[in-house]
Amino acid sequence: MSATVTPTPTSEREPGLRTLELEYEDICRERDRLRAARSDFARQLGPLPVAAGISTATITVFARHVHHSELLWVALGLLVLLVVVSILYGSIPAYRHIRAVNERRLGQPTGKLSPAAWYRRMIDLERAVYGASIERNRYKLLPSRRPSDLQDAFDRERVGLYTVQLLFVLLVVTLALSQLIG
């Protein structure tokens, strides 16, 4: 990994090195912010199907007056769909996988690097992993096993979480209607 490549020490400070250091630190802060946001979204993809399953099981077991059993079947279908969607969007690769792909694509440096060359290489790598800062469609509808960058992965997980939340609401409404419609 590139983390093991360190800049070679120099007897005197290279011009512009402090600027490169600050730029690298800024990129790393932004990367860490996006990784934390991704974690918050991805973390919710697991508990929602469990809560939906418990809700479905509770209504089904304790319901005494099911007026429309076909609505229970719809709820079961929604539960299955919710679990599948959660698994698909929860399997989007982590940062370390996206970074490894970009490290292979950019190539490993050979020999010792000057501090400035090391910072330039790391800045290029982090920019590639983070993704271009151009405006693009942030609503990617399908999960991907190969997101192009960290922003792409975040966008897909966000859509996945919103989809799972919508399915959860539909499931609860369907279960409630199966009990209330008479």
Confidence class for position 66, pLDDT limits 50, 70, 90: low
CA dihedral 71, 76, 80, 83 (to 10 degrees): 100
Look at residue 123 in the predicted model and tell me its pLDDT.
93
pLDDT given at position 97? 92
Tell me the two tokens of residue 176: 């409630």
- 68 band by pLDDT with thresholds 50, 70 and 90: low
More confident residue, 66 or 24: 24
The pLDDT assigned to 30 comes to: 93
pLDDT digits (tens, 9 = 90+) for 78-93: 988 998 998 888 888 9
Reported pTM: 0.76
Instruction: Give the model confidence (pLDDT) of 30-65 as tens digits.
Output: 999 999 999 888 888 887 788 888 877 777 676 666
For residue 96, is it left (φ>0), alpha (ψ between -120 and 50) or beta? alpha
User: What's the pLDDT at 31?
Assistant: 93
Of 67, 64, 53, 68, nearest in space to 167 by CA: 53
Cα of 33 vs its chain's centroid, Å: 12
pLDDT value at position 182?
56
The token pair at 4 is: 């093991």
Look at residue 23 and tell me whether its pLDDT is greater than 70: yes
Q: Exposed, middle or buried: residue 180 (CB in 10 Å: 0-12, 13-18, 19+)?
A: exposed
DSSP state of 138: -
Rounded-to-5 percentages of helix, strand, coil across the chain? 70, 0, 30
State how far the alpha carbon of 9 is from the alpha carbons of 14, 21, 101, 124, in Å: 11, 15, 29, 21
pLDDT digits (tens, 9 = 90+) for 115-153: 898 899 999 999 999 987 666 656 667 787 788 889 888
| Every domain of the chain and the residues it spans | 15-180
- Across the strands, what pairs with 113? 7
